[in-house]
Amino acid sequence: MTTLTLSSIDLRHDYVLMTHELLAAGYDDRDITRMVRSGGLHRLRHGAYTFGQHWRELDDAGRRKLVAHATLRSARSPAALAGPSAADLFGVPVWDMGDTTHLVRLDHLANRRTCDRAQHRGSVLVEDLTVRDGVPLTSGTRTALDMIAIGDVPHALVTVNGLLHAGETTLEQLQRRAAGTQHDPHTGNRGIVLTLADPRPESAGESLIVHLCWAQGLPMPIPQFEIRDSEGRLIGRVDFAWPELGVFLEFDGRLKYERYRRPGESVADAVLREKQREDAVREATGWRCIRTVWADLFRPERTSARIRSAFAARWSAA
């Protein structure tokens, strides 16, 4: 055989096919090898596959989720997805955390870390677990705290803010659960992350702008600030604003204009509409606008200097 035929194993909702399922369907090892080489199957990990076409259609987060499903199905001990792997299933941002699948074992033991799997041990309360799309994973609150434990401040903040924005946890829940693990040696950055954490940023880039401002000693901006005219009508909403300094900042992420396109609009139409919104905000407020992109996040000193220059220019013109 060289191609998969429609059968009950082809209809799994998670698109993960285990070796034993392929063998039970009548394929042998040579068939599986042949289908992997031809692209009909894609190997997710030892003993687990998916359809090649399905794999090619997925984005990075979708591929990590599929590998995580396969890893969980291969686990020999009761486990749940944790950390970045749980965050992927919640559909919140995970920034530059690699492709390793993170699990928490539910028997309070831990295997050694491998190149593609990290198993964590520690106390797991009933409230720390949930199920999403039939898959066991850590709760939004536990996932946020795990991200703080395994990542530095900016990487953790991206996902913590995503979980807050999605309503998967709250600042109150994080503070309460964190109080029970205050002696954990892997929580040195917790106070900083929880101080900066905010449900208002809507993307990884916006969360990193918050971190940049904090790290560079800039005044902290107000996220998702609404601009209204003299009669209280909404003119627009800006990503960040320093109202007392007369400056606002917009972060142009890679997917911003795709995400906010209206039905029938082209990307060019969305860019033009964004420019008109910016002009309307400036005309209504007299504020200066700073536009940033992903590259600016990797030049924090230069970007912070731009922001300070905008503050100074606004005040000198006043």
Q: What is the pLDDT of residues 124-135, one digit of tens each?
A: 889 999 999 889
| Average predicted confidence (pLDDT) for the chain | 87
In percent, the amount of the chain with pLDDT more than 70 equals 82
For residue 318, the Cα-to-chain-centroid distance in whole angstroms is 40
Q: Is the pLDDT of residue 12 over 60?
A: no
Given the structure tokens 């987060």, which residue do they identify?
A: 61
Task: Rounding to the nearest 10 degrees, give the CA dihedral for residues 21, 24, 25, 28.
Answer: 100
Could you tell me the two tokens for 14? Answer: 């998670």
- pLDDT reported for residue 193: 97
Residue with the bigger pLDDT between 315 and 281: it is 281
Query: Of the ranges 258-262, 274-278, 293-297, which is most confident?
Result: 293-297
pLDDT tens profile 41-91:
999 999 999 999 999 999 999 999 999 999 999 888 889 999 999 999 999
Buried-exposed string 142-178: b where 16+ CB fall within 10 A, e elsewhere: bbbbbbbbbbebbbbbbbbbbbbbeebbeeebbeebb
- pLDDT reported for residue 257: 47
pTM above 0.85, yes or no: yes
Given the structure tokens 């029970």, which residue do they identify?
A: 180
Give 256's pLDDT tier (boundaries 50, 70, 90): low
The closest of 289, 314, 156, 303 to 218, measured between CA atoms, is 303
Could you tell me the two tokens for 208? Answer: 């990193």
Beta bridge partners of residue 223, listed in sequence order: 240
Could you tell me the two tokens for 43? Answer: 């190997």
pLDDT tens profile 175-227:
999 887 665 655 678 999 999 999 999 999 999 999 999 999 999 999 999 99
- pLDDT reported for residue 36: 95
Domains in the chain, CATH or no CATH each: 8-57 (no CATH), 76-196 (no CATH), 204-317 (3.40.960)
Length of the chain counted residue by residue: 318
